[in-house]
Amino acid sequence: MKDGYPLSSHLVKTIHQQLLSFGRGAKKSLGQYKTEQNFLADKIKQKVLYTPIIPEKLNDRLEILFNYINTSEDPVLVKTALMHLEFEALHPFQDGNGRIGRMLITLLLWSSGTISAPHFYISGYLEENKDEYIDTMRYVSEHNDWEKWCVFFLKAVENQAMRNLQIAENIKDLYEDM
């Protein structure tokens, strides 16, 4: 992406292959989109919470998503919010969708020049607010309320950016003190 290549299916599959080559998910179709239907479930209640798109329609929807990412003139933060939700909703991989989806946030912000390096860590806020994060995403599916999602996402970016800045300042201060 630093060399100007667009966010693409090939890049996302390569990221997936690299990210999941060790640790959790290492044996689950690395770098390949799902070929069987997957779903999100509450393991305790043994209840299906969400069923993503069927594998047969996945490639067409991903093509639409990548086209939107690479051609839309929407403001970058709105585009990033919509991209993240749609990627998570498509849930294209057997495992690792959340990790890849959060990484794509950073890559889109970096490739647009919004951040100067691909070092934006948003997972902290999303993990701390996991119930609201999931509920707000689900609310889009159930009520088509994209505005509520965008407000949540923008709040997440703002809060995490402030936290990241404070951490960087603390590191700088510690370095100067030493």
45 vs 124: which has the higher pLDDT: 124
Nearest to 17 by CA among 81, 75, 83, 100: 100
pLDDT digits (tens, 9 = 90+) for 71-129: 999 999 999 999 999 999 999 999 999 999 999 999 999 999 999 988 898 999 999 99
Check residue 46 and give its pLDDT: 84
* CA 63 – CA 47 distance, rounded (Å): 31
All residues at 6 or more sequence positions from 145 whose CB lies less than 8 Å from its CB, including other chains: 139
Check residue 26 and give its pLDDT: 63
In a domain, 159, yes or no: yes
CATH of the domain at 78: 1.10.3290.10
The model's confidence at residue 21, banded by pLDDT at 50, 70 and 90, is confident
In a domain, 2, yes or no: no
In a domain, 28, yes or no: yes
Check residue 57 and give its pLDDT: 96
Check residue 27 and give its pLDDT: 67
pLDDT digits (tens, 9 = 90+) for 63-87: 999 999 999 999 999 999 999 999 9
pTM flag (> 0.85)? yes
Residue numbers of the domain that contains 109? 9-177
> How buried is 162 (Cβ within 10 angstroms: 0-12 exposed, 13-18 middle, 19+ buried)?
exposed
Place of tokens 């693409």: 8
In a domain, 140, yes or no: yes
All residues at 6 or more sequence positions from 5 whose CB lies less than 8 Å from its CB, including other chains: 11
In a domain, 1, yes or no: no
In a domain, 3, yes or no: no
Number of domains in the chain: 1
In a domain, 110, yes or no: yes
Percent of the chain at pLDDT above 70? 97
